[in-house]
Structure 1
C-alpha cells in the first residue's frame, strides 16, 4: 500500500513492527532519521527509503502525496548516499563522493537555494558545495560540514542560529546559499537544534551559537539569551574523537566513547533524564548519573532513545505522542526500558521530532 492514505493512525503509544515487502532488508540498514512527520532510511548499498508526510515533497518521491510505507527514492539510484538529515519538512543527503543533495520545503532557503527560484521540490537537487562530509538540519536551517573542516550554513538565521551577522553585529535573518561560518577551523562534528547550532573541532573543543532561551547552548540564559557568533563552552570532561554530538530542539547531548552521556538545556519535559528539581542549573553541561554503558543515542525534538550494552533500549523525555514507547503518553522522567523483545544485540535506533524507530536484526 502506498500513496495517499484513506485512514491514518495519528498516535502509536506501544511498539509496532513495520512490515515490508523485503525490498528493505533490515540487516542492511545503517541509519534511520526523521523530521516533523517524515522518515528517511539509508542502507549499506547507499539507497534511501522514505515515508510519511509529504506536503512539500520532503520524501523526494516526485509527488506531494503522503506514503504509509517506505518507498525507495529512485531518483537517488545513481548516487551512493552515506548520510541524511531531516528538517521539519525538508531533507538533505550526502553522497560517497561528497556531493550534497536536497529536497522538500525551501520556504526559508534551508535547501541552500534561493526560494524565489525553488520554493519547494519533490525531486532531489544537487547544491554546489564540494567535498561535503556531513549535514545537519534544524527546524528551518541547515549546516554543511566539508571534508576540510569548514562549516557552511543556510536558511533561517533570525535567532543567530547561522552564526552570521551584518556589520552591526545583527544576525542575518536569512541566507539563500551556503555560507561559511567565520572563525571556525578543523570542525569534525555538527548538530542543529530548533534554533541553534553546535560543533566540535578535531581537538575536542565545543562551540555553540543561536537561541539560548532554555540554556541549550550550555550558557546561563539569564546572561545570554541569544549568542550570534560561535562561543566555546566547557564540558565536565574532554570529548574524545569517537564521541557523538546530538541536539534536540532545546537540549543537547554528547555520547562519549566510553558510554557516558553529557547533556544540558531545557528540562521541562525531563529531556535531561531527571526531575527538574534535580537539575536547577539545567543549562550547565553535566554527566547523566542514572545511565551508563550506552552504545547508541538518538535525540528527537524533546525526547531521547538510548541503547545499552546489554541490548536494552531505554527512553526519556517528552512523550505526548507516545514517542518514548513506554505505553503511555505521559512524559518519562528518568531512563525507562522500552518494552521491545530484543532477540539480538545488533540494534539501531532513530528519531524524528515526535516519533521513534528501533531496528532489531
Structure 2
C-alpha cells in the first residue's frame, strides 16, 4: 500500500510512460476505487494501485525500503505545506502482469472490469476469473463462501457462456448469451436482484434508487428507495432509441441512436453535465427545503460537439468521447479527477473539452473513471517534437 507521507494531486492529464504503445499497447482499461487494470494487445493483464484487498491479483510484498515519491514535479498542483508525505511501493505503483499460470493454456481475454475492491476478467470461452473482495458498509470483506480476500485469480463457479460483465461498486452482473443475467457480490441494497431477466432491450435496473439513478422515480428521494428486482424503465422507452446505459454513484447516462447522451439523477453534485437553473421545475424532485435535488427525466446533455461514441461514469463525474476523438468531462473535481488543471472549482458543471499537450490533437478512443482519478486512452501516432 502507499503509505501517507506526502500526498500528490495531478491537476493535468499526464502521459503514463509505463504504458507506452511501443512496449505495451493497451486495448482496454478497467478502473476500481483505488486500483486499475489494463488488457494488452498480446493478452496480458496489467494491474496497479492499492493491493491491500488483493485487487491486483499478484504478490506486491517488498522487503526493501520503499521509494519516496518526488513531490516536486511541475506537472501537477503546487504543493501544500500541510500535505502528508508518502512512500511508494513500486510493485503496486507499476503496471505489472498478473501471472498467466493462474489460467489454462490458450486462455484469451476479451474484457476486464473492476468493482471498488475487486477485478474480473472474461475469456473468449465465456468464463469469468476474479480476485480481490467485496466490502459491505461495515467494512466486512467476503469474496466467496470460502474466502474473505482472493489474492490470486480464481475461476467464478457456475457462471458460463458470459458475453459481457457490468460492475457496480461492490457487485457484478454477468450477461449470458441467452439474454439472462447472473449477479453476485454485496447485496445490502438488494442490488443483485436474483430474478433473472431476458428482455435486455427494455433496460431493467435494480438496486439503490435514492437519487432516481435507476430511471424509476416513484420512490426517488425517499430513505427506502430501493428497486429490489429487475424492473423495466418506462423513462427509457423504445421511442428514445437507447442503445447503451452507464451509471455512476447517484447519476446515470444513456446513449441514443443519434450519439446523444441523456442524464438523470442527483443534481447538486454537478455530475449530470446540465446547469441546474436550466432544468424545468416539472422535471425536478425537490427536497424538504425546496431545493432541486433529483432530475427525474432523462435529459439531453449539451456542450459536447460531435457524435458521442463512448462514455464513462465515475462516482460523481463523467466522460464523453466523440467520433472525431475529442474527450469532454464534467462533475465533481475536488481531486482534479475531471482533468482540467486550470479549473480551481470543486465542480465542473458543464461538459468541457480536455486540452493539454498530451491529449490535444490526439485521437482519443475511450476513458475510465474511478472515484478520485480518471484515465483516457488514445490511438498511437507519430511523434512531433518528441511528443506523440
Q: TM (normalized to structure 2)? A: 0.75
Distance 2:21 2:330 in 1: 32
Q: Of the candidates 107, 115, 119, which is equivalent to residue 148 of structure 2?
A: 119
Number of residues paired by the alignment?
Answer: 322
Q: Does residue 321 of the first structure (1) align with residue 335 of the second (2)?
A: yes
Whether the aligned pair in 1 keeps the contact of 2:247 and 2:313 (CA below 8 Å) is: yes
Q: Does residue 309 of the first structure (1) align with residue 323 of the second (2)?
A: yes
Distance 1:25 1:147 in 2: 35
Tell me the secondary structure at the aligned position of residue 20 of structure 1: helix
Q: What is the correspondence of 1:290-305 to structure 2 with a 5 Å cutoff? A: 290-291=303-304, 292-305=306-319
Residue 215 (structure 1) aligns with: 212
Q: TM (normalized to structure 1)? A: 0.80
> How far does residue 25 in structure 1 lie from its aligned partner after superposition?
4.1
Whether the aligned pair in 1 keeps the contact of 2:329 and 2:352 (CA below 8 Å) is: yes
Q: Of the candidates 163, 169, 174, which is equivalent to residue 144 of structure 1?
A: 174
Summarize deviations over 1:166-198 as a string: whole Å, max 9, x none: xxxxxxxxxxxxxxx33x114xxxxxxxxxxxx
Inter-CA distance 23–73: structure 2 relative to 1 (3 Å threshold): farther
Distance 1:131 1:50 in 2: 25
> How far does residue 227 in structure 1 lie from its aligned partner after superposition?
1.6
Summarize deviations over 1:12-63 as a string: whole Å, max 9, x none: 111111112758746x422112111001111233321111111011011134
Distance 2:256 2:109 in 1: 26
Inter-CA distance 107–357: structure 2 relative to 1 (3 Å threshold): closer
Aligned CA RMSD, in angstroms, stands at 2.7
Residue 16 (structure 2) aligns with: 18
Inter-CA distance 21–84: structure 2 relative to 1 (3 Å threshold): closer
Inter-CA distance 74–231: structure 2 relative to 1 (3 Å threshold): same
Inter-CA distance 29–233: structure 2 relative to 1 (3 Å threshold): same
Distance 2:58 2:160 in 1: 25
Greater CA drift, 332-341 or 315-324: 332-341
Residue 29 (structure 1) aligns with: 26
Tell me the secondary structure at the aligned position of residue 277 of structure 2: helix
> How far does residue 240 in structure 1 lie from its aligned partner after superposition?
5.0
Inter-CA distance 343–263: structure 2 relative to 1 (3 Å threshold): same
> How far does residue 124 in structure 1 lie from its aligned partner after superposition?
0.4
> How far does residue 300 in structure 1 lie from its aligned partner after superposition?
0.9
> How far does residue 283 in structure 1 lie from its aligned partner after superposition?
2.4
> How far does residue 5 in structure 1 lie from its aligned partner after superposition?
7.2
Tell me, which stretches of 5 or more residues in structure 2 are unaligned? 62-88, 285-294, 381-388
Residue 90 (structure 1) aligns with: 118
Whether the aligned pair in 2 keeps the contact of 1:318 and 1:324 (CA below 8 Å) is: yes
Greater CA drift, 337-346 or 258-267: 337-346
